[in-house]
Structure 1
Amino acid sequence: MQILSNLNTVLQAIPAGGRASLEAILESIRTLFGGDRETRRRVAFGVAVIALSAKMAKADGIVSQPEITAFRQILEIPPEEMRNVFRLYDIAKEDIAGFEIYAARLRGLCRDEDEDCQLLADVLDGLFHIAKADGLVHERELAFLAEIGRIFGLTDQEFARIKNRHILGAENPYAVLGLDPGAPLAETRARYLALVRENHPDRLAARGVPDEFMFIATERMKAINAAYHSISGKTAA
């Protein structure tokens, strides 16, 4: 799994005796992969999901088994890479720097290359998947996620669309698609097709989402498809 092999390279690049921190890890990514934009984005994405998952667990105060399972759904960790992944997880959890600083650095790293960095929304999507794994997105988790969205530069509408997809689901299919309740079927279908195009695996790969994280895209498409079929079925009836 190439992204995790690169993570090992990043961790090894931290100077001996140097303080292991998220800042040092991000600088290692920038230095090691300065001439390889695609690898740099993919490794930064992987580090973001691991590190911000750890920060979210600390903010909530409880790491449940369902959350660990959800984390491992997003990142399929082979046994030989387990130590590196959880070393990074522990570094992030213990780092005195707040998640706000790391989120801002990640946004800067991403938007140095792409003003409209959709990769940041993908990171937030993965964090929501972990947060809801125990059956409820707790108030402190939601506040954490909202602040991450703000730092990433997501609009209120973009954040609400991600939140609604995870929290409302089948209860409000219009919200999942980002539509007003009772929107005409033609508008609903147009919005649905646009979301399908936007979330096609080729589009995600083009914006730097690693193959290992396509679980996020699969779950997203399940929610989008379910919302559309719920609306179109009711309309047809």
Structure 2
Amino acid sequence: MSIWRRIGDAISALANGEGLSTIFDTLRTPPERSVAFTIAVIALSAKMAKADGLVTRDEVSAMREVFQIARDDEPGAARVFNLARQDVAGFEDYARRIRAMFSESGDCLCDLMEGLFHIAMADGSYHPAEDAFLARVAEIFGMGEAEFRGLRSRFVPDAAPDPYAVLGVSPDMPMDDIRRHWKRLVRDTHPDAMVARGVPPEAVKLAEKRMIDLNNAWEEISASENA
């Protein structure tokens, strides 16, 4: 059964009058977590689009890229998006429920934030409302300010990414420690590791950009050390 059929079943199971956010209280274990991850990214994207006031064709295309949505599955994705936009629950309530759902996997929350940044930057601009939205979601997820800045620097091209921020390390750390941290991040970025923690196979494309960014950051740091 495709993930979009499973998402449709989860939505159909909602009682009359229940908002989409209630799904996050029930989908907590594999394989339902991959369904929950997909719904979470699309639902928060809908709330983010509401925050900056518009939904662009680029953002819709970005969702197709993240989840490899086939044409036949687009109505299902659109249904999730529209339910989230119409839900009276605010984005902070969504974020809190999603954090509780993935309470044992901070890495999965980071994966989710990457999906949101990818969609936010799809139209080539980064709206202040999107920045405020993502910063607040990251805060609710328990992501530290430095980690959020590092994530932001990888997606928002307002300055050259700080390689130390990208890896989440400090310049005064020993090189051996930085190398070990980089290798751990690379292991955690492997598609098999991402699927194991709840990222659906349809979304492992997120790993491609992250792997490039991590390796570029490490190469820049090691080159400066050996200069």
TM over 0.5: yes
Select the residue among 186, 199, 202 that pairs with 1:212.
Answer: 202
Write the letter of the residue equivalent to 1:106: I
Aligned to 2:6: 6
| 8 Å contact kept, 1:51–1:89 | yes
Aligned to 1:139: 128
Aligned to 1:177: 167
- Residue 186 to residue 136, structure 1, CA distance change in 2 (3 Å): farther
1:146 offset after TM fit, Å? 0.9
Write the letter of the residue equivalent to 1:12: S
- Residue 99 to residue 139, structure 1, CA distance change in 2 (3 Å): same
How many residue pairs align between the two structures? 226
1:165 offset after TM fit, Å? 2.4
Select the residue among 103, 106, 109 that pairs with 2:98.
Answer: 106
| Runs of at least 5 residues in structure 1 that lack an aligned partner in the other structure | none
| Separation of aligned partners in 2, 1:64 and 1:23 | 24
Select the residue among 88, 92, 98 that pairs with 2:84.
Answer: 92
Pair 1:161-2:150 in alignment: yes
| 8 Å contact kept, 2:153–2:161 | no
1:68 offset after TM fit, Å? 2.0
1:20 offset after TM fit, Å? 5.6
1:26 offset after TM fit, Å? 3.6
| 8 Å contact kept, 2:153–2:160 | no
| Separation of aligned partners in 1, 2:162 and 2:150 | 11
- Residue 170 to residue 228, structure 1, CA distance change in 2 (3 Å): farther
TM-score by length of 2: 0.88
Decide which structure has greater helix share: 1
Q: Deviations over 1:45-96 (max 9, x none)?
A: 0100110011101101122232222221101112222111101101111212
| Separation of aligned partners in 2, 1:100 and 1:65 | 25
SS in 2 for 1:180: coil
Pair 1:78-2:52 in alignment: no
Aligned to 1:22: 20
Write the letter of the residue equivalent to 1:55: K
| Separation of aligned partners in 2, 1:159 and 1:224 | 15
